[in-house]
Structures are given as structure tokens and as C-alpha cells.
């Protein structure tokens, strides 16, 4: 199946595909094993920082290897690409989906830069998914223990602007802000503006894939409602990072003299896998 076919089938089935970030081989393996266990297609992603660590070509080679072994549809995605140069590098390395994040620019500049990214990618391969972003997504992919999450009205994606953005850029997927944020906020609860999501879905039409970033920390019931309202891709990173760290800390505490990486990383591997399994089940409506 092509990347677009994977997302179209998910939408037809009333579910979403999880986009799970990785920067090491064992985290990727944990994601893939979870997908294989649940017979689920996967989107695996690297941010620019994660890609710099693992290597763009190396990430692509690892994913190709796992796809060949499992037979699963596994889409390798560049998450939050900040420039056309990085988009070009990812496509050249073998990525099948790219997210150009121009949300930090003024609207007109975001539109123009996103359009340039789409035109470049589509000139090479129409089947590569290009995702754009509109709205201000607060936070970062980490644990926010003291900071309160305050979503302002001006942060939210405007439905009429979203319609124009999709039409003028030609993007396949739209990442939006509907009350979601990056990271996990201990003292706040992320609450999605589901009516705004429905308005955006009507404005952009059924051909546009709707994306929910900041999938960590959102109440499960809101996630289910968002998928029902049209979300077809949900990004998850922070919960996996926290599970990885807690697993490593437990291994070091339980066996402080251990130095073999494959032994120390066993617990973190299992913890990450557990998170991915739970998310896949949630995105499938279970």
C-alpha cells in the first residue's frame, strides 16, 4: 500500500494511524514489534534532531529492513521539518512522508514556504505525503512539571484560513491546533476543542488528512472523539520518551554494576513497546 492508501483506509475504517518518533534502533524495534503484534500499519518519525542523531539514510535503511521482515506498511516520516533543505535531504534518503512546519512564520510566509515544499516533493513523487501546519502549538516534547498549559483563542487554527491554506499550498495533510500541545503537562489537562475540529474538517474537505500533534497527555475520550470527527494521524513522542527514561533508570537502579547496553535497555524497550501498544489500541477505538 502507498502512504496515501494507508491513510485513506484508516479513514474508511474510522481509525487513526499512530506516528511514533524514534532516534535509536531499539526504540524503532519496540514500535515495530507493537505494530506487528496488533497487525497495524505504522508511521515512524524522526524530528530534525532525532534524524541528526540516528542519520537520515540510516533511519531509512532500518525501516526498509523492518518492513521487509514484517510485511507491515511502515511509513517513514520527517517530523517538524523546518526548511526546504531538510525536506530535500529526507526525500533523498528515502522518507515517504514529510512534515514542513512553517507555523512559526507569519501566515503568508508559512503559506508560501509550504507551497514551495509541496511543489518540490510532488515534482519527484506524487505518492509522498506532504504535511503542513497552521496554528500555534505550545509546549515541547518533554514533561512540564510546573508550567501551566494556557491555550489562547488566537492559537487555534481558523477554519476559513485552513481552507485557503490547503487549497493554495496543495498539502495532503494538515496539522492543526485545537487545544493540543506538545509534551505532558502535570498541572494541566489538555482539552480538545472538538467543535473547532469539526469546523476545520468541513472547511478543508474529505481529501485532506487531518493530523493531531501532541498526542501524549490528551485524555483518551477526547482522542476517540477527535478520530470520529476526522483525525487520521496522531503523533506520539513524549510518553514514549518518558517510558524509555523510566525504564533506563529502573535498570540502573536494579543492577547498578551492569554495563552491557542490551541488558540495560531491555526494560526501557519493553516500556516503550507497552506505550505504543496502548496507543495503537486507542487509535483503533479500543
Averages of pLDDT over runs of 10 residues in the chain (286 residues) are 95 97 97 98 97 98 98 97 96 97 94 98 96 75 46 81 97 91 52 92 96 83 95 94 96 95 96 98 91
| Three-state SS at 82 | coil
Burial of 221 (0-12, 13-18, 19+ CB in 10 A): exposed
Q: Could you tell me the three cell numbers for 283?
A: 487509535
Those residues whose C-beta lies under 8 Å from the C-beta of residue 191, and which sit 6 or more positions away, are: 179, 219, 222
DSSP state letters, 128-195 = SEEEEEES---EEEEEESSPPP---GGGSPPHHHHHHHHHHH--SEEEE-SS--EEEETT------HH
Range of the domain at 119: 3-283
Q: Could you tell me the three cell numbers for 199?
A: 469546523
Gap between the terminal Cα atoms of the chain: 24
Q: State the total domains in the chain.
A: 1
Catalytic residues: 79
Contact 57, 94 (CB under 8 A): yes
Antiparallel, parallel or unpaired: β 17-21 and 97-100: unpaired
**Can you give the pLDDT at residue 285?**
87
**Can you give the pLDDT at residue 89?**
98
**Can you give the pLDDT at residue 156?**
87
Contact 206, 238 (CB under 8 A): no
**Can you give the pLDDT at residue 138?**
53
**Can you give the pLDDT at residue 191?**
79
**Can you give the pLDDT at residue 151?**
61
Query: CATH code at 136?
Result: 3.20.20.70
Those residues whose C-beta lies under 8 Å from the C-beta of residue 157, and which sit 6 or more positions away, are: 134, 135, 176, 177, 178, 196, 200
**Can you give the pLDDT at residue 187?**
43
Question: How far is 115 from 111, CA to CA, in rounded Å?
Answer: 6
**Can you give the pLDDT at residue 91?**
97
Amino acid at each position: 500500500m502507498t502512504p496515501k492508501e494507508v491513510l485513506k483506509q484508516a479513514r474508511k475504517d474510522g481509525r487513526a494511524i499512530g506516528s511514533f518518533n524514534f532516534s535509536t534502533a531499539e526504540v524503532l524495534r519496540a514500535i515495530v514489534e507493537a505494530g506487528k503484534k496488533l497487525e497495524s500499519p505504522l508511521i515512524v518519525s524522526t524530528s530534525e534532531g532525532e534524524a541528526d542523531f540516528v542519520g537520515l539514510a540510516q533511519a531509512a535503511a532500518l525501516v526498509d529492513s523492518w518492513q521487509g521482515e514484517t510485511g507491515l506498511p511502515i511509513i517513514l516520516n520527517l517530523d517538524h521539518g523546518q526548511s526546504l533543505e531538510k525536506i530535500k535531504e529526507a526525500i533523498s534518503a528515502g522518507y515517504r512522508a514529510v512534515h514542513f512546519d512553517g507555523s512559526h512564520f507569519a501566515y503568508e510566509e508559512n503559506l508560501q514556504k509550504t507551497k514551495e515544499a509541496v511543489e518540490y516533493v510532488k515534482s519527484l513523487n506524487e505518492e509522498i505525503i506532504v504535511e503542513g501546519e497552521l496554528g500555534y502549538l505550545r509546549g515541547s516534547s518533554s514533561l512540564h512539571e510546573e508550567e501551566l498549559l494556557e491555550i489562547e483563542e488566537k492559537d487555534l487554527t481558523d477554519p476559513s484560513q485552513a481552507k485557503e491554506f490547503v487549497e493554495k499550498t496543495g498539502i495532503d495533510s494538515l496539522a492543526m491546533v485545537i487545544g493540543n500541545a506538545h509534551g505532558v503537562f502535570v498541572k494541566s489537562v489538555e482539552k480538545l476543542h472538538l467543535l473547532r475540529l469539526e469546523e476545520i474538517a468541513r472547511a478543508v474537505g474529505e481529501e485532506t488528512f487531518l493530523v493531531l500533534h501532541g498526542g501524549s497527555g490528551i485524555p483518551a475520550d477526547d482522542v476517540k472523539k477527535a478520530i470520529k470527527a476526522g483525525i487520521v494521524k496522531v503523533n506520539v513522542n513524549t510518553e514514549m520518551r518518558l517510558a524509555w527514561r523510566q525504564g533506563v533508570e529502573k535498570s540502573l537502579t536494579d543492577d547498578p554494576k551492569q554495563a552491557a547496553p542490551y541488558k540495560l535497555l531491555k526494560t526501557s524497550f519493553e516500556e516503550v513497546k507497552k506505550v505504543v501498544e496502548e496507543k495503537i489500541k486507542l487509535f483503533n477505538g479500543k
